[in-house]
Each structure stands twice: as structure tokens, then as C-alpha cells.
């Protein structure tokens, strides 16, 4: 992702790439030396909160594509940005197509409350389920209506249904050859509805990242999810 982002921004005259960092570099020092207005972070969940904290403390606008943040970490970062009146974003997915799938899933849940998610990623992804799947489940939960109560099904082994988030089963697949894929299946009386998004190349994230880099300059707080900027 880092290489793809650098390549894309170097080729875009709307942006000026003032610096890049790797895991051995001093991030705070690099931000100060470059005077970067926006800092993009696509690293790993194990260092995501630390990197985001450094970016905010340096006064730069964070655009975070790293996933695996805990809810209390997101809340803390939001407080720090609000205190500094600093715009930023954490997004589980910067693909416009993936964001649309999540929005469509929220809408579908109003009519099809029974849903399961299958998310498929490359073997080097640290967390399971993915941040995209978790946010999708959150949105499905929001879309469900009380007039559509969920029927409980007997399970021989609850682990066979994957992880459970807000009464939604999430199945994670990690295999070589995959990039990022999500399938949301809804079931109703005598019919099913399937929504699927496939990331075939990481270039699909670039339009969303660039949109975020522009939009955060006008924000005074940190938002979670690209849908807040569309």
C-alpha cells in the first residue's frame, strides 16, 4: 500500500509529496522537518494508535487507513483532534466501491435483518475480522428495525458461524492470492440477496485517499469512515 500511495501521489499535480517514512524512521521528526499538512498512515494495527497520536501531536491532519483500532482508542483520538480543532479521518476502507457496499448493506438490513458477512484477505493481514467487516456489521445493526425481530437458530457449535458482532456472523478467510474481498448475504422468505465487493488492485483505494486528504483540511474533528466525507 505504501508503495502504491507514493507512486500515485508523485504522479498527481494536485499534491506535493514532501516526505516518506519507514518503520525505522522517527515519525515526529519527519513530520516536523517536512512541514507536512496531511500525513497518511497505512501500517499495522500494532502501531496504528501510536502513529496516529504522533501525527495529531505534531499538528498534521491524520488520514489513517490502518485498521484494528479499539473503540476507546478511536474515542481518544477524536478527543485529541477536537481539542486541537484538527480535521482527520480513520477509515477501515478507502475504496469507494466498498463504502457503497456498506451503505447498501445498511439499507438492505431494513428489509432483510438476517445477514452474514464473509470477508477474504491476504495472509499478511494482522486482524480478523477485518475493520471493513466490523463497520459493515455496525451499519447493518443500525439499519435493522425493531419491527423485524431476529429469529434464533439452533447451533451445534457457535464457532462454526464465525465471529459474532452485534448478532451478525462474520467469517474471515486468509489465503495467498487474495487482496481484499467482502460478501454480505441477506436472507428473507423464499429469497436471498448478496452484495459483494472485490478489490483487484490497490489502486482502487487512491481516489478515496486523495478525497480524504482534501476534505480533512476543512474539518475540525476526526471522523470514522469514508462515508462521512462522500
Residues recognised as catalytic? 121, 125
206 and 5 Cβ atoms separated by less than 8 Å = yes
CA distance 90 to 52: 9
Q: Where are the beta strands (DSSP E) in 108-190?
A: 114-121, 163-164, 169-174, 180-188
Grid coordinates 447451533 are at which residue? 155
Number of residues assigned to the chain: 230
Distances in Å between the alpha carbon of 4 and those of 56, 203, 209?
A: 24, 7, 11
- What is the residue-wise DSSP string for 1-54? -HHHHHHHHHT-TT--------TTS-HHHHHHHHT-SEEEE---HHHHHHHHHH
Cα angle 209, 27, 80 (rounded to 5 degrees) comes to: 70
CA dihedral 173, 176, 182, 186 (to 10 degrees): -50
Amino acid at each position: 500500500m505504501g508503495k502504491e500511495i507514493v507512486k500515485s501521489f508523485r504522479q498527481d499535480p494536485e499534491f506535493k509529496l514532501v516526505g516518506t517514512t519507514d518503520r525505522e524512521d522517527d515519525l515526529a521528526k519527519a513530520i516536523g522537518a517536512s512541514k507536512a499538512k496531511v500525513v497518511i498512515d497505512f501500517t499495522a494495527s500494532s502501531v496504528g494508535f501510536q502513529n496516529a497520536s504522533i501525527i495529531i501531536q505534531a499538528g498534521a491532519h491524520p488520514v489513517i487507513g490502518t485498521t484494528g483500532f479499539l473503540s476507546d482508542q478511536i474515542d481518544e483520538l477524536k478527543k485529541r483532534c477536537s481539542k486541537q480543532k484538527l480535521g482527520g479521518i480513520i477509515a477501515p476502507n478507502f475504496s469507494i466501491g466498498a463504502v457503497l457496499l456498506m451503505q447498501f448493506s445498511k439499507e438492505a438490513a431494513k428489509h432483510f435483518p438476517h445477514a452474514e458477512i464473509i470477508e477474504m484477505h491476504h495472509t499478511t493481514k494482522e486482524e480478523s475480522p477485518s475493520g471493513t467487516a466490523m463497520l459493515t456489521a455496525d451499519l447493518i445493526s443500525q439499519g435493522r428495525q425493531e419491527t423485524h425481530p431476529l429469529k434464533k437458530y439452533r447451533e451445534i457449535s457457535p464457532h462454526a458461524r464465525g465471529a459474532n458482532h452485534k448478532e451478525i456472523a462474520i467469517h474471515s478467510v486468509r489465503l495467498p492470492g487474495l487482496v481484499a474481498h467482502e460478501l454480505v448475504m441477506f436472507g428473507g422468505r423464499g429469497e436471498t440477496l448478496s452484495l459483494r465487493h472485490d478489490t483487484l488492485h490497490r489502486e482502487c483505494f487512491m481516489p478515496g485517499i486523495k478525497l480524504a486528504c482534501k476534505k480533512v483540511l476543512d474539518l475540525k474533528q476526526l471522523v470514522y469512515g469514508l462515508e462521512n466525507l462522500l
